């Protein structure tokens, strides 16, 4: 069994623009080093975070021109890694996170969908996904079964 380190809760704050996502993602992953995640675990966390952050910038914060920021709140316990992404952008349609259905890939190459995989990957890799709109802020909560 791997001896997992302890991880005090921490927050990464980044500007709500596409160019800031890579740096914010790197800082979040650096902050998780004490957990000694396996390569697969780290890849899953990074993929889920990247997809979620890119969706925030592309959809919730579209048109904000970086006038707002995104918070990534991370904490770890026996259940795994808990991530809350907070932004002050537009709410999710219908007030809930998308279902994340797998796009149809049984089509000709020219008809292959260009997008639509992000929420499916998030829903598949996360143990749980939640969303709430509180005080004009979006709160996307994710739990990943890593570092256990």
CATH of the domain at 73: 3.30.565.10
Q: Of 73 and 119, which is predicted with more confidence?
A: 73
Closest-CA residue to 117 (of 129, 105, 134): 105
Does some domain include residue 65?
yes
Residue 4 lies in a domain: no
| Residue pair 47/121 in contact by the 8 Å Cβ criterion | yes
**Within a domain: 5:** no
| Residue in the block written with tokens 């991370």 | 74
In a domain, 87, yes or no: yes
Averaged over 76-99, what is the pLDDT?
89
The HSE-up count of residue 6 (CA atoms within 13 Å, CB side) is: 1
pTM attached to this predicted model = 0.87
**Position 1 in a domain:** no
In a domain, 2, yes or no: no
> Tokens 């996360």 sit at which residue?
126
pLDDT band at 105 (very low <50, low <70, confident <90, very high): low
Model confidence pLDDT, tens digit, residues 3-36: 566 789 999 999 999 999 999 999 999 999 999 9
pLDDT bin (cut points 50, 70, 90) of residue 148 is confident
Q: How many domains does the chain have?
A: 1
Reported as a single tens digit per residue, the pLDDT across 50-86 is 999 999 999 899 877 778 999 999 999 999 999 999 9
Angle at CA 38, nearest 5°, toward 37 and 40?
115
Residue with more model confidence, 33 or 97: 33
Q: Are 141 and 84 in contact (CB under 8 A)?
A: yes
More confident position, 62 or 2: 62
Map tokens 């396996």 to a residue: 38
Whole domain around residue 98: which residue ranges?
10-144
How distant is the alpha carbon of residue 87 from its chain centre?
12
Which residues have a Cβ under 8 Å from the Cβ of 36 and sit 6 or more positions away?
Answer: 2, 3, 4, 5, 147
């Amino acid at each position: 069994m791997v001896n997992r380190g302890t991880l005090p809760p921490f927050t990464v704050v980044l500007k709500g623009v596409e160019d800031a996502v890579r740096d914010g993602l790197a800082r979040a992953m650096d902050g998780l080093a004490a957990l000694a995640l396996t390569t697969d675990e780290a890849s899953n966390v990074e993929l889920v975070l990247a997809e979620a952050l890119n969706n925030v910038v592309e959809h919730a914060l579209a048109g904000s021109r970086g006038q707002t920021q995104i918070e990534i709140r991370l904490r770890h316990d026996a259940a795994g890694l808990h991530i809350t992404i907070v932004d002050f952008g537009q709410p999710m349609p219908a007030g809930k996170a998308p279902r994340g259905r797998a796009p149809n890939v049984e089509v000709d190459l020219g008809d292959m969908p260009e997008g639509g995989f992000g929420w499916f990957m998030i829903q598949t890799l996360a143990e749980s996904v939640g969303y709430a709109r509180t005080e004009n802020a979006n709160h996307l909560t994710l739990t990943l079964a890593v570092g256990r």
